[in-house]
Chains A and B, each alone.
Chain A
Amino acid sequence: MDSLVVDGLGKCYVLARETESKATRSFWQRLKSPLGADPAGVAREYWALKDVSFRVEPGTILGVIGPNGAGKTTLLKILARVITPTTGRVVGVGRVVSLLELGAGFDPDMPARENILMNAAIVGITRHEAQERIPEILEFAEVEQFVSSPLRHYSSGMYLRLAFSVAIHMNPQILLADEILAVGDSGFQERCLQKVTELGRRGLTVLFVSHDMDAILRICNRVMWLNRGELRKAGDPEEVVDEYQNAVWSEADIAPSERGRRSNRLAEILTVRLVSAAGRDIGGAPASEDVFIKIRFRTVRPNLLVKCALDLATRGTLIFRTSDAELRPLRDAGVYEALARIPRDLLAELTYVATVGCIFRKEDEPKEFPLLVYNALSFMVYATEQPDIPTSGRLDRVGVIAPRLEWTVREEVQVVRA
């Protein structure tokens, strides 16, 4: 008896072409189709997921890997019933609990208790039963002393611990976890992974989406690789991860974007990734550590010069644009990587989107060849420290960035005039 049978699953989005978006449609056009989709010819289809089929046995920890835009999140959202598939069918057994995004299903204005009860209601657990589990949930999440403070005072690490703890205490038969475990201090991450492994042995089926190949290899007993909405390979973790990583090295994995330009006659941007100081791919950035944005590109001509730049945006607002201070020479044609260090304690606990650009030119010609990848990377910054309760909120760092400045406090030197 399979825990999950997915058959020919597909999700199609109908996109309005940007130039003919709603705002610019004429009154007459709107009159002709006031309620329906955009008139034929204006709409464009985009398959986020295409004909994906697989089966999962109970107790399987299935890792789902693939580049951004591969359809991993779409798959999980369909299984969580948040979105409805366009084609295909899923048959599953038992309660599904999802950890799709940090804070999903939580109300920041309510305290932990109320949130636990609400989540219990969402998965269909009675109030009485939920109340009995509250102490256990709080204990695993290590947030007992903050039961009564609203979640908005929580750090993202605490948020995650609570979310994970709530999820596993809802007695799911199927757990859907999207990247979320990438966030959190290493100690808790360790405990999460252990817990997931343990529950897996007891028959819990887990779909675990991550960019962290170490974690995937450690806990998964099967791995599925999605690429541009299609199932590329599934099977033994070592094998699939190896092949995936080789492929990433040899080909571009950035989903084609409407705007921007990924390749020109001099070079091509292959990947844009967030990596730790150790060079490991990471899905989220710990606020207290340096992280790097790594742009991999391939040049097809020798003797080029390059200058890379980066836009960081959050909530739709550009925070800053920054570029390399100099033009770097690229002697031979080949694959290069550019690393931009984002210093620790600079970014706030938010999700950021990076747009990257590189300008190439030949050494002997002034003509520039720019490349640009819009929204090449999105990542979340999380803090693991607990908020300072005595001054809670009021003195925290707020805003779109949260740099820690160097402060000194000293007594004023009295200048005594004789």
Chain B
Amino acid sequence: MSALRRLFGLGAAVPASGEIAEAGYQKWVIEPVRVGLIARARELWRYRRILWFLAERRIKDRYEDTTLGIFWLFARPLMPIFISTIIFGRFLGVPSDGVPYFLFFLAGSSCWRIFERSVQWVTRSLDQNRGLIKKVYFPRLIAPISSVAPAVTEGGILLTLLVLASVFYYFHDGVFYLRIGLPIVAALVAVAMAMLLAISVGLWSSVLQVKHRDVQYSIRYFTQLWQYVTPVFFPLSSVPPKYHLAFFINPMTPIVEMYKWGLLGIGEFPGIELALGVGVMLLIFGTGIVYFNNSEAASVDRL
């Protein structure tokens, strides 16, 4: 019980927030055992402004050397999608729940990309911010959180493409496939969840990356495999029911499904599956926070 209390900082030996010293200044304590989670969360909030600076910096890192400019930003993600559309949609005839395969795949992959790229950036987050981490103090958790920023911009680019493509299909087929209305909120929630899941995974991988430099390559491999148990380039309806369990233990499945449902109105809103996915996600997130928190000091020493 005392371990649990310490973990959550309930009885931690920190002055309660707002305990003000005589001179009117805040009193602080530094101890080998870091304070509990509640105190950390409060601290995170106090330091929230740094988040934007780090996020901005990561986005700059990502796009600074793009010489072809805006054209390239759009052309690069489009190329693999065109190829996949031809191979899966045309040659193999993968079903797409009644919308053009191109739109179907664009929707699935924009959600997946946000997740996949976030995981990659978050994994390297401690490394990439080491200049700052080794010199000044801020809650280290800000590093992984801010690192999803470039992935969000990338997802945004894909989403723009999706809107443009829908407009094209409107003139081509006379059908506007995008949903307009409240279900869009479900798509946004899905994006937020994809990011949170990426951060949860990243809490583990970023610490491991500091210890073992090759984690960033294994994680890329790992996410590639992960994509195959997520309905990104095929609809869930084409998966035989006996494999469904494997798909729904994976929290990305309901997220991608919810995203597609919200955006294109295809598939079904994943109810129970979503609850299961959220459960798995919270498990990864909770253990990740504890792991990150406990490894923080050692990670900084090692950086």
Contacts and interface: CB of A to CB of B under 8 A. Distances in A.
B32 A88 contact: yes
A1 B22 CA distance: 8
Interface in A378-409: none
B221 interface: no
A83 B301 contact: yes
A35 B208 contact: yes
Contact of A89 (B21, B22, B29, B136): B29
Interface stretch (A118-126, A226-234, A235-243, A315-323): A118-126
Contacts of B34: 84
B179 interface: no
Contacts of A92: 27-30
Contacts, number: 92
User: For B49, B50, B134, which residue has the most chain A Cβ atoms within 10 angstroms?
Assistant: B49
Interface string B175-201: 000000000000000000000000000
B17 interface: no
Interface of A: 1, 13, 35, 58, 78-96, 98, 100-101, 104-105, 107, 109, 114, 117-118, 121-122, 124, 126-127, 173
Contacts of A117: 53
A89 B208 CA distance: 28
A90 B137 contact: no
A85 B300 CA distance: 12
Given A1-B22, A124-B47, A127-B49, A83 B27 contact: no
B49 A121 contact: yes
A304 B199 CA distance: 66
Contacts of B136: 80, 82, 98, 100, 104-105, 122
Nearest to B133: A82
Given A35-B208, A82-B135, A118-B53, A94 B31 contact: no
Interface residues of B, number: 33
Given A81-B137, A121-B50, A122-B50, A87 B28 contact: no
A84 B32 contact: yes
Interface string B121-142: 0000000000011111110000
Given A35-B208, A124-B47, A84 B25 contact: no
B90 interface: no
A107 B135 CA distance: 12
A83 B300 contact: yes
Contact of A105 (B25, B32, B132, B296): B132
A221 B202 CA distance: 48
Contacts of A118: 50, 53
A250 to B, nearest CB: 35
Contacts of A109: 60
Nearest to A125: B49
B62 interface: no
B23 A93 contact: yes
A78 B32 CA distance: 10
Contacts of B32: 84-88
